[in-house]
């Protein structure tokens, strides 16, 4: 007992709510069951049921909502409504409270940043059709949208007039400029300017879309009833730049919150020309004639639908693809919720360890009944005043979790450079926005330690190597002001063989306990097998060089200075990762070419070109290089330093061309970049 005589008792209790649909062998809902009729186990341990409620969902349709006759007198105008200063939120429920008894909860979620204007109009028309003619008296509908953030436009209501008014107020064209970009042969430039007020991490569009969905799911997680979220979007395309952990975190959050996704491709039934219709700029280049542009265009479209399909199926929902009647997808979500039981129990396992727990629900005495329910959930995670041993164990547990923690934003770039005929040097640069440490700064901390832990696995899921490091970040004075504008950079590297690998890395702010996860797959090609092109490494685009003596964030690798090709004369080239560059600073371009067996006197010709749409905006003079590194590969380093102050802000396609006049071989590399003032 404390010296002041006040006793303090603490207890943890986690209420788990399951929605269970019970049907007989004829497919009819079984009614009249009580808690005594069910048995629940969690990880094989029997649980005590605290409450069991039956939700009767009325399936009868409501009469169509029609406009008033022309002869009827117009109703008096409603009083002027003052918009609230605070944004509308989803009203939460207390644990165990069933505020929306016998109702069906549906959310219409419009991803405005992922739909062009014509698709926004089509999705809103489908929502209007559903509300007017297909909504039932049991339905409660909420409306959310995402552009610059997640906005709850309307909380759950059955007022169809209010819902129609809310949809009518959705701003057509909202969210434009954040569409997904590609860097393959199908890429085209729309000339969209990059806003000065947008951070460089906004380029990771899919991560932003999935993180916004996760935010919406957290709001819905405060409701105990079963929920469906109808997601309208024109694309959801995971690619090499996007963090695979965010996709897993979003789906796992939905499973935890008992939310099912029903995704709708707002493009409808698409029949386009092989290179796109008139709304898409021509890709240009040789790919138009070789067929690679058409193949890339088709692959990108298919990949965007695959991601939407996975998002729905992983949460128990369905995707509506290639259908012009988008309201069918809403009706599918509506039919997914029939009469069901809400069963709650307090888990006997009070550990907030973040691990997955399997649930099994059975009906006593009736083996023929079919039960549909959530098969498990992810336990909560907490960060307290752990000891050093506890913190290390927490990091190891988080690394092993199937439910990635995405409280910190992480971006990354993986590159490769050939060392010899077998091995490749693979540097990996991670970036965390400095603003992520604002919470620790507001808490009065003068510094924080960023812990890094990760593992690299091969295609057979065998761990090749591990990463464990920490960085001490000062949060006082000029350093704190600088971190608010610039990201924290962390560098590590591996020496590996060619192949397919998966990388998972966690970063934890030791002051607040917030953890971020980055997961990606990458391929290190075997350059020696390609005899048709010049062998080149990854191309590094950078806006800064760091003096190794003053470098603040570095991995603890003793051989880094001797091995890394990014270090020259004590200066380290820092990859950009997000490829956003300021016009006021020079752009550094670096790559290596490998000419094993070539005559040293034969020069290599290289140049860098910037394209704006189909227009060549800038090109460097050809650079002839004969200098090689004294090794068996005859490595030729190619370096460029470009001034960007003559180019206008906006989106460009950067192309690096390498020519070998002696062998008549060439190599090309392209990537989108963004220039800001």
- How do residues 304-341 score in pLDDT, each as one tens digit? 788 888 889 888 899 998 898 999 999 999 988 888 89
> Average pLDDT, stretch 193-217?
62
Which residue has tokens 């906006």?
A: 650
pLDDT tier at 360, thresholds 50, 70, 90: very high
Question: Dmax over Cα atoms in the chain, in whole Å?
Answer: 92
CA distances 122 to 105, 267, 672, Å, are 23, 8, 30
The token duo for 533 is: 């092109």
For 376, the token pair is: 């498990």
How much is the pTM?
Answer: 0.66
Q: Write out the residue limits of the CATH 2.60.40.3880 domain(s) in the chain.
A: 383-528
Residues across the chain:
677
**SS3 call for 112:** helix
CATH topology for 104-190+198-337 is: Rossmann fold (3.40.50)
Give yes or no for a contact between 92 and 126, defined as CB atoms under 8 angstroms apart: no
d(CA 343, CA 257): 14
The CB-side HSE value for 77 (13 A sphere, CA atoms) comes to 3
Region(s) of the chain under CATH 2.60.40.2550? 530-677
| CA 213/CA 144 separation, integer angstroms | 10
CB 640 within 8 A of CB 651: no
**How much of the chain is in helix, strand and coil states, percent to nearest 5?**
20, 35, 45
CB 620 within 8 A of CB 608: yes
Average pLDDT for 135-142:
92
SS3 call for 210: helix
The arithmetic mean of pLDDT across residues 620-630, rounded, is 85
Cα–Cα distance, 304 to 225 (Å, whole number): 31
In whole numbers, what is the pLDDT of the chain averaged over residues? 80
Enter the tokens of residue 338.
Answer: 């029939």
Q: How far apart are CA 40 and CA 17, in angstroms?
A: 11
Average pLDDT for 64-71: 55
CA-wise closest residue to 541 among 622, 612, 640, 427: 640
pLDDT band at 204 (very low <50, low <70, confident <90, very high): low
Q: Is 164 exposed, middle or buried (0-12, 13-18, 19+ CB in 10 A)?
A: middle
Cα–Cα nearest to 489, from 417, 407, 544: 544
pLDDT at 374: 85
For the domain spanning 530-677, the CATH number is 2.60.40.2550
CATH label, 383-528, candidates 1.10.40.30, 2.60.40.3880, 3.40.50.10260, 1.10.10.60? 2.60.40.3880
pLDDT reading at 602 higher than 60: yes
Residue 525 pLDDT > 90: yes
Per-residue pLDDT tens digits for 237-277: 765 556 678 888 888 889 888 899 999 999 888 776 666 65
Class of residue 435 by CB neighbours under 10 A (exposed 0-12, middle 13-18, buried 19+): middle
β partners of residue 182: none
Q: Can you tell me the distance from the alpha carbon of 214 to that of 436, in angstroms, rounded to the nearest whole number?
A: 18
Ranges for all domains in the chain classified under CATH 3.40.50.410: 104-190+198-337
Q: How far is CA 140 from the centre of its chain?
A: 29
CA end-to-end distance (rounded Å), the chain: 61
């Amino acid at each position: 007992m404390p010296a002041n005589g006040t006793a303090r008792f603490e207890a943890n209790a986690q209420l788990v709510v399951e929605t269970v649909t019970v049907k007989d062998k004829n497919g009819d809902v079984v009614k009249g069951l009580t808690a005594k009729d069910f048995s629940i186990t969690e990880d094989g341990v029997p649980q005590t049921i605290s409450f069991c409620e039956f939700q009767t969902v009325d399936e009868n349709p409501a009469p169509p909502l029609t406009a008033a006759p022309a002869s009827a007198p117009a109703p008096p105008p409603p009083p002027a409504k003052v918009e609230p200063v605070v944004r509308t939120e989803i009203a939460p429920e207390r644990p165990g409270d069933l505020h929306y008894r016998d109702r069906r909860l549906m959310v219409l979620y419009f991803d405005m940043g992922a739909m062009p204007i014509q698709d926004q109009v089509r999705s809103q028309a489908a929502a209007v059709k559903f509300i007017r003619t297909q909504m039932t008296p049991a339905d409660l509908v909420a409306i959310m949208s995402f552009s610059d953030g997640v906005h709850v436009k309307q909380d759950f209501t059955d007022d169809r007039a209010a819902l129609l008014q809310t949809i009518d107020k959705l701003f057509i064209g909202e969210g434009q400029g954040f569409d997904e970009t590609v860097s393959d042969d199908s890429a085209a430039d729309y000339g969209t300017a990059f806003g000065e007020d947008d951070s460089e991490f906004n380029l990771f569009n899919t991560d932003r879309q999935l993180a916004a969905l996760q935010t919406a799911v957290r709001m819905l997680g405060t409701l105990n009833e079963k929920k469906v979220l109808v997601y309208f979007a024109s694309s959801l395309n995971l690619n090499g730049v996007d963090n695979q952990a965010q996709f897993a975190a979003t789906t796992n959050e939905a499973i935890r919150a008992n939310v099912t996704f029903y995704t709708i491709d707002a493009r409808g039934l698409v029949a386009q020309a092989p290179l796109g219709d008139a709304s898409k700029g021509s890709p240009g280049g040789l790919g138009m004639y070789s067929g690679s542009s058409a193949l890339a265009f088709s692959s990108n479209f298919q990949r965007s639908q695959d991601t939407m399909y996975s998002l729905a199926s992983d949460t128990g929902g369905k995707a509506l693809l290639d259908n012009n009647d988008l309201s069918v997808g809403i009706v599918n979500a509506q039919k997914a919720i029939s009469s069901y039981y809400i069963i709650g129990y307090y888990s006997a396992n009070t550990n907030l360890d973040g691990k997955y727990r399997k649930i099994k629900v059975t009906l006593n005495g009736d083996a023929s009944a079919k039960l549909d329910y959530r098969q498990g959930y992810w336990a909560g995670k907490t960060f307290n005043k752990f000891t050093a041993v506890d913190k290390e164990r927490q990091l190891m547990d988080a690394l092993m979790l199937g439910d990635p923690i995405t409280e910190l934003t992480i971006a990354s770039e993986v590159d490769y450079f050939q060392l010899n005929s077998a091995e490749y040097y693979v540097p990996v640069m991670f970036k965390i926005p400095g603003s992520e440490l604002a919470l620790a700064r507001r808490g009065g901390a003068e510094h924080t330690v960023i812990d890094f832990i990760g593992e690299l696995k091969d295609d057979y899921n065998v761990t090749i190597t591990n990463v464990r490091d920490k960085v001490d970040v000062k949060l006082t004075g000029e350093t704190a002001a600088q971190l608010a504008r610039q990201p924290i950079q962390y560098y590590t590297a591996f020496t590996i063989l060619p192949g397919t690998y998966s990388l998972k890395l966690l970063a934890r702010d030791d002051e607040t306990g917030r953890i971020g996860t980055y997961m990606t797959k990458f391929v290190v090609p075997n350059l020696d097998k390609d005899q048709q092109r010049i062998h080149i490494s990854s191309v590094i685009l950078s806006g800064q060089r760091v003096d190794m003596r003053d470098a603040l964030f570095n991995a603890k690798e003793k051989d880094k200075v001797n091995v890394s090709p990014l270090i020259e004369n004590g200066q380290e080239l820092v990859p950009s990762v997000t490829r956003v560059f300021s016009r006021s600073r020079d752009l550094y371009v670096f790559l290596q070419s490998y000419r094993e067996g070539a005559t040293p006197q034969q020069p290599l010709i290289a140049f860098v070109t910037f394209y704006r749409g189909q227009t060549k905006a800038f090109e460097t003079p050809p650079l002839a290089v004969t200098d090689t590194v004294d090794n068996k590969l005859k490595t030729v380093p190619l370096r460029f330093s470009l001034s960007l102050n003559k180019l206008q802000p906006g989106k460009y396609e950067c192309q690096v061309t390498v020519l070998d006049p002696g062998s008549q071989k060439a190599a090309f590399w392209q990537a989108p970049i963004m220039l800001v003032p």
